[in-house]
Structure 1
Amino acid sequence: MRDLKKILKFRASNKSQRFIADSLKISRNTVSRIFSLADQKQLHWEKAQNMDEDQIESYLFGNDTVNLVYQSPDFEMIHKELFKPGVTLQLLWDEYVEQCRSIGKPFYQRSNFYRLYTDYVKKHRLTMHINHKPGDRLMVDWDGKIMEVTDQYTGEITKAYLFVATLPFSMFSYVQACPSMDSKNWIDCHINAFRYFDGVTRLLVPDNLKTGVDSNKKYEDPVLNKSYQEMANHYGTTVIPARIRYQQIEG
């Protein structure tokens, strides 16, 4: 552990254990232990400020420094487990804590555990698993691909646009081809999807397309297309547009 001197300096400034733990991204139990050992060994900041980390560590712990090494979570296994039904990051943290306690090793607090997992995902360019409740939300959008439909009698070719509605928990989907991506087809597709799924989810999550969302600015409530809002009200559901990507470059 390389934060001993910082802990003692914070303590000399009358910072709370919670403040120190949050600032240094360590557990409050660790901070409390350092406080206790410093009292036992009578190591105060007046003396510690003239010592380096190794000297402080040796002074406080002697040959017991190995006990300060946190048990590293197996994030490769954790990431795989998250794709199993019913498994959450909270559950895996609980199991990690239980394992650490059984072998007498210090463990990361939940917030740091979550942060380390996020860092692992970013480092390895993985996709984070998002926990969804069954039937809670319906993801809707135009697919983006354009199909060509040929009339078998006249040979006339017309374009078709694909509407896709997906229940993210089960990945069960409804797909419908439409002659255009106008508001009428958008709403009709929703109604047909509700009939297909035999129910309406609590939330509808569309992308920020103009047939459904007029405006969706950061720090402001989204403004929905009037017909789309009326449809949502009629079916007793709520439309929550997906977050927009921030593309403006500060100059």
Structure 2
Amino acid sequence: MPTRRVIMRQVREIVRLSLEAGLSTRVVGGRVGVGPTTVRDTLKRFARAGLAWPVPEAISDAELEQLLYGVPGVKPGRRKVAEPDWSVIARELKRKHVTLQVLWDEYIAEHPDGYRYSRYVATGFMLWKELYLRGS
């Protein structure tokens, strides 16, 4: 399961502390509350997006997020199939007469080269199991 994205307020603070104040990744991570690897990854994304400090005021948090992380869905070069929206699936499964088979049929109709049923069920089960164990 992917980790949560850094919120844009933290991204702006990471970039400010690194580029303006010249602090190390470890110090920046400690002040912002993220790990040094997250700081390095955020700075790489910032440089790859072609942005400069200070970030123009005209760029909103949503635009900055899109510049840094791209459009949600299929990651370029990583996944060959569209990832199902597992939160929607979990919500739909709580409804009467809705099964994984029905949801998979809808998913495969929308994404013909998506996950086969066995992979769909196994991936969903692992994600739900992780959430369940973490939540208890």
Under TM normalisation by the shorter chain, which class is it?
A: 0.3 to 0.5
Tell me: higher relative CO, structure 1 or 2? Use CA pairs within 8 A at least 6 residues apart. Answer: 2
More strand by share: 1
Give the TM-score taking structure 2 as reference length: 0.42
Q: Which is richer in helix? A: 2
User: Which has the higher Rg, Structure 1 or Structure 2?
Assistant: 1
